[in-house]
Chain A
């Protein structure tokens, strides 16, 4: 397949402090004890998309991520690592690596996507329609009410539930309208022009743009060249392409003036075509052809391009790791209901316990838990719906519920950890109580302290 894949892996992420650090950039955040990036790479490998460019922010990150990839996927994927400056946005990142792009079509995937939607299907849809861009849409995930049981949390989830306003054609193949970002909060304004061409448009507010796009390379590069203010693929490039799909500038190299002149000329030539079509009263096969037909079939001045969608089936799993909440949710889901994402590891379907954990007496590890290799748990502990990394030492009478504990963490006797994230090399002394907290790497929590909904991290420098 002549597809090049760009994985936008990012680097540090403000949303995820204190979880990410220099040593542990976002792409390597563990989800069920595997770096989040591995899920995307695994999916790509499965779909035989093996020509990859992984874009990360910052040279340091590039080194760390590169080392991990070459260690893990050597000989299995052809990966280039490209470092780009921070804060140039997704479009900026693509612009920066534009000269590396050579294939006919480019698949852009966000590195924080944890999904079982086959990228190959998106690529195939893209090819089938010969589209300029194909976006993958998924149903909005029902964010976990488990850890936010209060009614307030529910309201919030409902409010956050609106990600995009998306207009589709009746066949649900073409993307006719997309509103992102701030536009969502306003009244929707839908262009009549596209509506006229298509006849009916379905407006959906229950779909999410999952940040997996297939672009035609020429279109992508041209848009990025033309519109040098575009920062984000999601908020600038995609809406632009959708908006201009019936009069594409991206495919024609003319200056606007030339195009206008051309248009006028064609007007008279086109009369015959218009008229014959009108009189025949024929329904056009697809609305894109509607505007693109031309008498001689060549030198088309009214260019159109297609914006397609691939809608993931409602049962599929598709979440982006872009907040701490999402991090928790994904960890819980991947060990729980979406455990099919963990291919090749598991022995027990309910309990992903590594090969050599040592459990003390009367310690129970509930279903949907994961214990990394070399971790030891003392007596009379309880672990429920949690992920515990490698080489952790957990004392006795410890309760870990709905939490993520990374590697090399030491937890003293009698600790209670609920709904929290504990990063690597953290030391929790005796009788620490954490509820809905995040503890940054290397932090030491003194004995007996209690925290609720706090973010604990070492002072940098």
Chain B
């Protein structure tokens, strides 16, 4: 970009030259670096999965070709051999003016790695389109490319243009249509610059935070909840080098986009381009697979629909969106409903009903079968009387007579379902066992989905491998072959969100109400300046959502939490007292607290631990407390330098007895005594506390009264001392 000083005419001609020199390039990531399509993707890469009987990647490539892209680099990682073989044997290898080059990698674990590798290959020479192989679209790239180029001319920092599309502004529609989480974007309405991108409810649960500088810089910002990210990006060359510079960027959105938005040193900008009438969507999970299949059948993606893409292979579209290949053997009494695709060579028996489904090539379907909203791939055998609702059935599956698939079932390749067997809803069935250890890459990117992996798996999957047929047979009925994958405990609730089956109505309602209630809590928190003590921050996480004028209080709450966490770690990991002291001191400095606060917080943590450790009676509780105090007295003492701090501890203890740990109320004098015995509290501190409390309200003196004896005793002891 050193040519900025040149005259306008020179620049134009140069641009034209540039255009002539650089064919439009695209990077197609043939690996989504995700696990959402397991178990199917264990055997076949996602981009080769049939979408209305045509592999996904064909749709993407066909669109790229029609949009004027001349050179596509297909990045393959998982099952790269299959992808390369497919591309070599397909029509794409021999297209004029459209070259498809594969780039293979075996160790890339994220989109970031892929782009770094491509950067090293040095094959991209100008602006390029970045998409993944599971993106459907029929949009024209002309306008977005032109916009991108023009912006680049004015501002070299405008390095990326994201394509977005309007969707309905409700959390439910987003969930029910593409199964994606809600997305919030802030866009400048004039320049279309993207200012904020938040795809998961992050730290601020009920609120979107906009930086004040953003507001100062942009007199008008539009916050969108009604846009869908199409995952089609027009990027400048710099994007690749940025990935190389920031070697920790992994995810395109979560790291790269957010990283750029947050970084104000380099000043790179991302812009958006909204499409209105064209189609664009990405298959992210089973739900979007379902939705997009239906969209294709209903021809929203025209011209990328099966009858046109297949060319001459004679698929006819009949009324009501019924697609049928020419040589289907169909019984007279079979009923094929609307929006259904039947592939070549498929045989369908008597009285079978099929609606809203896709049936691939070479399938044999018996009599009295009901198929509704399901995706049946190639060479599947379904015997008489089976019922399938909202299921995906991969190649070579055999369903014995009378088998039933409940909504949301996924049958991976060559699974056999036994006679009369009912596969429970949302099951995933595969010939392969569920991998015990998730690959580290997935952990990296989808840690939130896969957390809590190993220990929750049922024992039998850890047992002997497929040879143990009796057991597997048991899983899928007599004669069945395959493993039903267990669902991780945490993900159980999530399963319905991404499944092919429609979301059950009660879940929808719950989803909606959940969101509402979330807010309710928050708005209430915001409204009512309750007399929330510091302990509130502990009891619920919404402490941070309290009105901002409680900042300092919040700070203390956080600090207390941190100290507590540190203390608990010290207890559980047997950290040396000295180290714990250091850590607490570090916390004190970083939160700018006084050592009084430390003493209070540590004491609080100790007592809380005592209450939380199991106990049955007051005496046991007392013993717990005594143990903990004895063990950690040094830690506490190192923050008790003078009497004020000791008094603070007593006050803190009082407060706890009243609020969070009422069980201690009865033990107050004993614990006080204990603290005295351990020389944590000096008698002066206790006496001064007693003096201070003397003048307090009656209600405030409960504990003073209960420990009256002890105080009395102390006083006498003191007098005796003086007498001596």
Contact = CB atoms under 8 A, between A and B. Distances in A.
Does B bind A? Answer: yes
Interface of A: 162, 165, 167, 170, 182-193, 195-206, 240, 243-244, 247, 267, 270-271, 274-275, 278-279, 281, 283
Interface string B474-507: 0000000000000000000000000000000110
A275 B168 CA distance: 16
A244 B520 CA distance: 10
B715 interface: no
A281 B522 CA distance: 28
Nearest to B513: A267
Given A188-B215, A203-B223, A243-B523, A196 B182 contact: yes
Interface string B62-87: 00000000000000000000000000
A222 to B, nearest CB: 15
Interface residues of B, number: 49
Contact of B222 (A186, A202, A274): A202
Interface string B171-187: 11100100000101010
Given A204-B220, A274-B508, A278-B172, 18 more contacts: A170-B222, A186-B212, A187-B210, A187-B211, A191-B523, A192-B207, A192-B225, A193-B206, A195-B225, A198-B169, A199-B169, A199-B170, A202-B189, A202-B220, A205-B215, A274-B509, A278-B505, A279-B505
Contact of B225 (A167, A196, A202, A203): A196
A192 B519 contact: yes
Contacts of A201: 222-223
Contacts of A195: 184, 208, 223, 225
A291 to B, nearest CB: 8
Nearest to B213: A187
Interface of B: 168-173, 176, 182, 184, 186, 189, 201, 204, 206-212, 215-216, 218-227, 505-506, 508-509, 512-513, 515-516, 518-520, 522-523, 526-527, 548-549
Contacts of A187: 209-212
B176 A191 contact: no
B51 to A, nearest CB: 23
B259 to A, nearest CB: 19
A183 B516 contact: no
A115 B206 CA distance: 38
A189 B208 contact: yes
Contacts of A182: 549
B223 A191 contact: no
Contact of B523 (A190, A203, A244): A244
Contacts of A204: 219-221
B216 A189 contact: no
A244 B206 contact: no
Nearest to A291: B516
B164 to A, nearest CB: 12
Contact of B206 (A188, A192, A275): A192
Contacts of A162: 215-216
A281 B169 CA distance: 11
B685 to A, nearest CB: 38
Nearest to A202: B222
B523 A247 contact: yes
A396 B114 CA distance: 84
B464 to A, nearest CB: 46
Contacts of B204: 189
Q: Which of B169, B204, B209, B227 has the most CB of A within 10 A?
A: B169
B505 A275 contact: yes
- 5 closest A-B pairs (Cβ-Cβ)? A199-B169, A199-B226, A193-B519, A206-B219, A203-B221
A281 B173 contact: yes
A189 B184 CA distance: 13
A146 B220 CA distance: 27
B548 A271 contact: no
A196 B171 contact: yes
A275 B523 CA distance: 26
A165 B186 CA distance: 15
Contacts of A191: 206-208, 519, 522-523
A204 to B, nearest CB: 5
A206 B219 CA distance: 5
B527 A203 contact: no
Contacts of A247: 520, 523
Given A183-B548, A206-B220, A200 B210 contact: no
Nearest to A205: B215
A271 B510 CA distance: 9
Contacts of B215: 162, 165, 188, 203, 205
A199 B225 contact: yes
A267 B508 CA distance: 12
Given A186-B212, A192-B206, A205-B219, A244 B506 contact: no
17 contacts: A187-B210, A191-B207, A192-B207, A193-B206, A193-B522, A200-B169, A200-B224, A202-B189, A203-B210, A203-B222, A204-B220, A205-B215, A240-B527, A243-B526, A278-B173, A278-B176, A281-B173
A165 to B, nearest CB: 6
B509 A275 contact: yes
Contacts of A279: 505
Q: Which of A183, A186, A193, A198 has the most CB of B within 10 A?
A: A193
A162 B215 CA distance: 9
Nearest to A200: B224
A253 to B, nearest CB: 18
Contacts of B170: 196, 199, 278
Contacts of B206: 191-193
Contacts of B173: 278, 281
A376 to B, nearest CB: 48
Nearest to B508: A278
A182 B227 CA distance: 32
A281 B212 contact: no
Nearest to A184: B212
Contacts of B227: 200
Contacts of B172: 278
Contact of B223 (A190, A243, A270, A278): A190
Given A193-B516, A203-B223, A188 B209 contact: yes
B141 to A, nearest CB: 25
B508 A275 contact: yes
Given A186-B212, A187-B211, A167 B223 contact: yes
B22 to A, nearest CB: 37
B526 to A, nearest CB: 7
A242 to B, nearest CB: 11
A189 B168 CA distance: 23
A199 B224 contact: yes
Contacts of B208: 189-192, 195
Nearest to A279: B505
B508 A190 contact: no
B207 A196 contact: no
B545 to A, nearest CB: 9
A182 B549 CA distance: 10
Given A193-B523, A199-B169, A205-B216, A188 B505 contact: no
A167 B221 CA distance: 9
Contacts of A184: 212
Nearest to A256: B524
Nearest to B172: A278
Given A196-B171, A243-B527, A244-B527, A189 B224 contact: no
Q: Which of A186, A196, A202 has the most CB of B within 10 A?
A: A196
B210 A188 contact: yes
Nearest to B549: A182
Contacts of B209: 187-190
Contacts of B201: 192
Q: Which of A165, A167, A200, A204 has the most CB of B within 10 A?
A: A200
Nearest to B505: A275
Q: Which of B170, B224, B526 has the most CB of A within 10 A?
A: B170
A202 B221 CA distance: 5
Contacts of A278: 170, 172-173, 176, 505, 508, 512
B221 A274 contact: no
